[in-house]
Amino acid sequence: MNYQKNIENQIMVIFGASGDLTYRKLIPAIFDLHENKLLPTHFAVLGVSRSDISDTEYRKKMKKGIKLFSHYKDASDSAIDVFLSKVFYLSMDTGDGKEYGILKEKLSEIDTEYKTEKNYIFYLSTPPHLYPKIPKYLYGQGLNLQRKGFRRIIIEKPFGHDLQSAQDLNKKLLEFFDDEQIYRIDHYLGKETVQNLMVTRFANGIYEPLWNRNYIQHVEVTAAESIGVEGRGGYYDEAGALRDMVQNHLMQLVALIAMEPPTKINAEAIKYEKMKVFQALHPLSEEDLKKNVIRGQYSDSKVRGEEIAGYRQEKSVDKESRTETFFAMKFFIDNWRWAGVPFYIRTGKRLPTRVSEIVIHFKPSPQQLFCTNEDNENQLILRIQPDEGILLKTGMKMPGNGYEVKSVNMDFHYTDLDNHYIPEAYERLILDCMAGDSTLFMDGPASEETWRFVQPILTYWENNKDAPLYGYPAGSWGPEKSDNLIEGENQKWRYPCKNLADDGIYCEL
Ligand code: BG6
């Protein structure tokens, strides 16, 4: 990695230390930073949660997580142990303010021993009901004060459940920490390919003249997942696809595609441009809510010969649940660049494959001179994952007599790069927070603005319990209705792989 930041010595405190996120993502990401020699000389992790276990037991568990989920899963035991010798554990009830004195003492102990200069980051990876409480209790112990060393707080998603709760949470946090101390995570922003959206757009002169309503017909954003709710049924049934993926991850992608060039690459300038996009989202009318918003829920099906349970059969999901596991929507952005250009977004669980991509559909040439097949459309496909890269589709003459045009691909894959270490999103974001760089984090007002945009959908569903919820077989591309969202206009979604539940229709490579 050729990327080095000036990072001060510090302690990372993880609340929710025995949770899944810590095990699968956070500790493996910090270990990757360690292996990439990006951690400061004096550094420690303090895991905090209720389970009554020792440092040794905690390290044993984290070692397992590192071996399963780290980039360097094949690292030797001794290399992992060197890292884990800096990982400590404290058992306490984080919901009880009276216990925070113990935390303060423990921090001070580690700080003295490891010379971490009273620089602390508090990472909240707990159930969301603790988000307002923990900052308050830290404040109660003066752990928010930056007189000696810095104090930062990272808040995991979900950031609120609707507009009101997001506003309340922002307000509460600001009672105890200053805005510049708060880092709201959206892990999509930590993805290498998501950051590359800005580079593609703003480091290349060729795209900018085309990047507007004059040349772009429509924009498509897909975040498809083949997995189901994976043991998170309790959380997901309360959230659904709109809250889980759209208000945050997909809206961030939309902002990066639609924003104006920032004056500089820094947190302030980028957040300012993204906010302008959110403010320009055309408010959804009652008609949009009925026509341009589609929700679906997967039913049981056979995928590659394997029986897949329907959503309502998943553990901790209400047997009559009306929570959406698929969401698609058409909307517009009211500004000079995008007026009249439809944006289509979709996301879902139990779709045929895992793929996140953005497709820029360009308008056809003004005159059709050649005999052409109907899928000869110029598309720029920005592949976020898993096959990270960029694909440009253009028409080419088929060799031989006449002028038959064929659509061909100009295709770049990150794997073609010599040194293609792609850091995990959490690795990048944790490092940035350690360095005090909030460029890739969400700010409070932007988060509220995206909630403001989706709130009418939540309210509509709340008030119209029988609003359509379409079924779709697990392994398919979602409800047929979502096809009509685009196909009504003689266009269609891109289908990057077969519809596994339905005999291979909808395939486009
Ligand atoms: C999380 C959602 O924020 O993002 C999950 O809560 C989802 O439901 C995940 O599976 C998708 O992230 P990624 O990085 O796998 O696309």
Task: Tell me which of 192, 230, 249 to substitute to probe ligand 1's pocket, judged by most ligand atoms within 8 Å of the beta carbon.
Answer: 249
Of residues 96, 98, 100, 143, the one with CA closest to residue 121: 143
Token pair listed for 467? 């609003």
Within 13 Å, how many C-alpha atoms sit on residue 123's CB side? Answer: 28
Task: Report the pLDDT value the prediction gives residue 417, as an integer from 0 to 100.
Answer: 87
pLDDT value of position 260: 98
Give 398 Cα–ligand 1 centroid separation in angstroms. Answer: 42
Residue with tokens 């993805």: 191
Using N-to-C axis directions, what is the helix angle for 133-140 and 100-114, rounded to 10°? 70
- The CA distance from 438 to 425, in Å, is 14
Of the chain, the percentage scoring pLDDT greater than 70 comes to 95
Distances (CA, A) of 327 to 175, 189, 197, 282, 386: 35, 21, 23, 18, 21
Atom number of ligand 1 nearest to Cα 249? 3
Please return the burial class of 415, using the count of CB atoms within 10 Å of its CB with bins 0-12, 13-18 and 19+: exposed
Q: Looking up tokens 């609707």, which residue turns up?
A: 162
Q: Please give the number of the atom of ligand 1 that sits closest to the Cα of 356.
A: 16
Ligand 1 atom 4 nearest Cα? 245
Ligand 1 centroid–CA 400 distance in Å is: 48
Answer yes or no: same fold for 10-156 and 189-366+418-423+454-484.
no
Q: How far, rounded to the nearest angstrom, does the alpha carbon of residue 37 sit from its chain's CA centroid?
A: 26
- Specify the pTM: 0.94
Q: Which pLDDT value is given to residue 366?
A: 87
Q: How far is CA 343 from the centre of its chain?
A: 19
- Pocket around ligand 1: residues whose beta carbon is below 6 Å from it? 157, 225, 244, 356
Residue extents of the structural domains in the chain:
10-156, 189-366+418-423+454-484
Whether the CB-CB separation of 9 and 150 falls below 8 Å is answered with no
Tokens representing 494 are: 């891109």
Question: What is residue 438's predicted lDDT score, i.e. its pLDDT?
Answer: 95
Q: What is the pLDDT of residue 255?
A: 98
Q: How far is the CA of 372 from the centre of ligand 1 (A)?
A: 39
Domain spanning 10-156: which superfamily? NAD(P)-binding Rossmann-like Domain (3.40.50.720)
Beta strands in 205-364 (DSSP E): 216-224, 293-299, 301-303, 306-308, 326-331, 343-348, 355-362
Q: How far is the CA of 190 from the centre of ligand 1 (A)?
A: 13
In the reported structure, the alpha carbon of residue 350 is separated from the centroid of ligand 1 by a whole-number distance in angstroms of 13
Q: How far is CA 217 from CA 238, 340, 430, 481, in A?
A: 36, 9, 38, 21
Place of tokens 């700080």: 111
Burial tier of 91 (Cβ tally within 10 Å: 0-12, 13-18, 19+): middle
Show the low-confidence residues of the chain (pLDDT under 50): 1-2, 502-509
Q: Give the model's pLDDT for residue 2.
A: 44
Which residues are part of the catalytic machinery?
A: 249
Query: Which pLDDT does position 375 carry in this prediction?
Result: 67
Closest C-alpha residue for ligand 1 atom 8? 244
User: Domain 189-366+418-423+454-484 is classified in which CATH homologous superfamily?
Assistant: Dihydrodipicolinate Reductase; domain 2 (3.30.360.10)
**Closest residue by CA, ligand 1 atom 2:** 244
The residue whose CA is least distant from atom 9 of ligand 1 is: 245
In ligand 1, which atom is closest to the CA atom of 385?
16
Kindly give the number of the ligand 1 atom that is closest to the alpha carbon of 157. 3
Residue 183 pairs in a beta bridge with 154
